[in-house]
Chains A and B, each alone.
Chain A
Amino acid sequence: MNSWLEITQLQKKIDDFHLGPINLQIEPGTITALVGNNGSGKSTLLKLIMNLANPDMGNIKVFNKFVYGQDESWKDKIAYQAQTPIGYNPYTGNQLKSLIAPLYPNWDDTLFVDMVHSFDIPLHKRYGKLSQGVQQKLNLALTIARNTPLLLLDEPTSFMDIPSKKRLVDILVDWMDRGDHAIIFAGHQAEDIMKLADYLTVLRNGTMVGTFEKEELTATYMHYWLKEPLGKMSIPGEISREIKQLVSNQPAATEQFFHENNVAWTDRKALDLDEIITYLLQEGKDGYINDGNDVIGS
């Protein structure tokens, strides 16, 4: 299947910060979460995809077109919601809609109206006068309603209240069901929206830790409670240990070791996603090496 987005060996240096190399492919019907600590390069990566900056090395293709090429037709097929939109302040929601909607041939006005009602967005007020939360809701309505195949959302729920976050999740689920779409969003591990993700692409201080299938990842990390302290023995898969507790990202190998060495455990529990991400973001504790060939949706 053809990738809608193909990133190859992408690198970008900004002062002391170095992003990449990033290798990523996005295919239809997938939702990918870009996860990383603050300043890990999530927003920069989305801006590079939108050709708002030039990579130092590597290539980005959207619908088989280089984003920095002369052919800019790819722009019709991708909608980007910036974390902090620039230039929106002097316009009302109505004006922004009139400006943006005609640029996108598949603009979904019903969805836009639905989101406006659902989030109670005042379209007659200037964007700059709205609260951050309402600005974010309006921005999302203006972005999702573009109804492009590929949707990029940068921290889409950072200022939203809990009911609105849940409503957004529903909207995105419906939207994904209504045709060939793919979403990439940058977010924090504790967000509700993370539940939507099929894949997690983890960035740690600009370095790509890897792209993981979410279900596979949640089945991989196991927390064990042991009868006795472990002492100094080295355990396969171990990524964290307290006196009588252990976290492993290779549960089969760990349990085999327990069996062979008569280590008794009283309980085990799969880790929550946000705990797993926390481990992935802690340098040296992930146990994964990016092989540079992360394919999503294949």
Chain B
Amino acid sequence: MQDWKQALRLAMFELHASKYVIFFLAVILCLALSSIVTGFSSYLEKNYAGIEFTFFIIFSAIILIWVKPKDFQLNQVNEDVMASPSLIMLHQLAVKKDVMIKSRFIVHFCYSFPFQLLFLIFFYALSQELQHVLPVGSYLAFSIIWLSFSFYAGYFFMATDAGTRNVNKITAALFTFIFAIGVMFLSATIQTISGHGIVNWTIIFAQEWPLLSSIISVILAVLGFSYWLHYMRKTMDLVDYL
């Protein structure tokens, strides 16, 4: 508990100094909601792979890479490695590695979770089609499925704080483009093969097996999150912050 307290104290400095991120996240939230609410009935009627990309963007928290102020974005440590400047700073102080990792988790959580939760709340409040398709209980399961996804997939971006391969801006843009194409390709393939898009499938899971899909999602979230913490610790032990 002492570690968590210290991690929270340290995370608060970054959260306070980068509070303007909230403004950008609010803008993105509005844009995402306006596009998804207006397109949702069409998505359900025509059953095409259309809104998956927005869901991936929001629940993978990839957006945080761009909206964070430059001082908090991954920074070049040496020719091969990029890492979070905040983590490097803490690494040079009397802070245990576990506390550093917890601190990174708190920062990531504070920026991603409320944003994702608000998205889910407003999506339900603003979309009558969604309310019609999913009663509150099922929507809770649907929310758990996607919030869990944010843990087992999205915390990959937190884990990169400990150090990742150094890439230039062109390569980073290329990776982003490949990620976008990959998500769209995956969505289209699943839609073509199975007859439903990924979001539609999660709606079906939430309708048909709300409890089971929630339990499986939470288990995946716990396993995935534990893996990313382990991955981060291992990376910190291996990387040379020279």
| Assembled-state Cα–Cα distance A82/B88 (Å) | 11
Q: Are A75 and B89 in contact (CB under 8 A)?
A: no
Task: Write the chain B residue with the least CB distance to A78.
Answer: B94
Among A52, A80, A90, A103, which residue has the most Cβ atoms of chain B within 10 A?
A90
Question: What B residues does A99 contact at CB under 8 A?
Answer: 10, 13
Q: Which residues of chain A from 22 to 81 have any CB-CB distance to chain B below 8 Å in the complex?
A: 44, 47, 50, 52-54, 68, 72, 75-76, 80
With beta carbons under 8 angstroms apart, the residue of B75, B92, B96, B238 that contacts A52 is B92
If A75-B95, A95-B17, A128-B71 are given as contacts, then 19 extra A-B residue pairs at C-beta distance below 8 Å, sorted by A number, are A47-B241, A50-B91, A52-B242, A53-B242, A54-B240, A82-B92, A85-B89, A85-B92, A86-B75, A87-B71, A87-B85, A87-B88, A87-B90, A88-B89, A89-B85, A90-B69, A90-B72, A99-B13, A103-B95
Q: Please, what's the 1-or-0 string for B1-17, where 1 marks a CB less than 8 Å from any CB in chain A? A: 00000000110010011
Q: Are B94 and A104 in contact (CB under 8 A)?
A: yes
- Cβ of B86 within 8 Å of any chain A Cβ, yes or no, is yes
| Assembled-state Cα–Cα distance A99/B8 (Å) | 12
Interface size on A, residues (CB 8 A): 29
- Cβ of B18 within 8 Å of any chain A Cβ, yes or no, is yes
| Assembled-state Cα–Cα distance A85/B88 (Å) | 9
Min Cβ gap A53→B in Å is 4
Q: Are A103 and B92 in contact (CB under 8 A)?
A: no
Min Cβ gap A92→B in Å is 9
Secondary structure call for the B interface = helix
Question: What B residues does A102 contact at CB under 8 A?
Answer: 9
Task: Write the chain A residue with the least CB distance to B238.
Answer: A54
- Cβ of A289 within 8 Å of any chain B Cβ, yes or no, is no
For this complex, into which size category does the number of interface residues on chain B fall? 20 to 34
Min Cβ gap B151→A in Å is 26
Q: Are B17 and A91 in contact (CB under 8 A)?
A: yes
Question: What A residues does B90 contact at CB under 8 A?
Answer: 87
What 5 A-B pairs are tightest by C-beta distance, nearest first? A87-B89, A87-B85, A53-B240, A90-B71, A75-B94
| Assembled-state Cα–Cα distance A85/B75 (Å) | 12
List A residues at the B interface (Cβ < 8 Å): 14, 44, 47, 50, 52-54, 68, 72, 75-76, 80, 82, 85-91, 95, 98-100, 102-104, 128, 146
Question: What B residues does A75 contact at CB under 8 A?
Answer: 93-96
Question: What A residues does B240 contact at CB under 8 A?
Answer: 14, 52-54
Question: What B residues does A68 contact at CB under 8 A?
Answer: 237
Decide yes or no: A52 and B91 within 8 Å by CB, A47-B241, A47-B242, A128-B71 being known contacts.
Answer: yes
Decide yes or no: A91 and B238 within 8 Å by CB, A72-B97, A86-B75, A100-B93 being known contacts.
Answer: no
Question: What A residues does B88 contact at CB under 8 A?
Answer: 86-87
Decide yes or no: A53 and B13 within 8 Å by CB, A80-B92, A86-B88 being known contacts.
Answer: no
Task: Write the chain A residue with the least CB distance to B71.
Answer: A90
| Assembled-state Cα–Cα distance A211/B38 (Å) | 74
List 13 A–B pairs whose Cβ atoms lie within 8 Å, in order of A's numbering: A44-B242, A47-B241, A52-B241, A53-B242, A68-B237, A80-B92, A85-B89, A87-B87, A90-B17, A90-B18, A90-B69, A95-B16, A100-B93
Task: Write the chain A residue with the least CB distance to B9.
Answer: A102
| Assembled-state Cα–Cα distance A197/B95 (Å) | 29
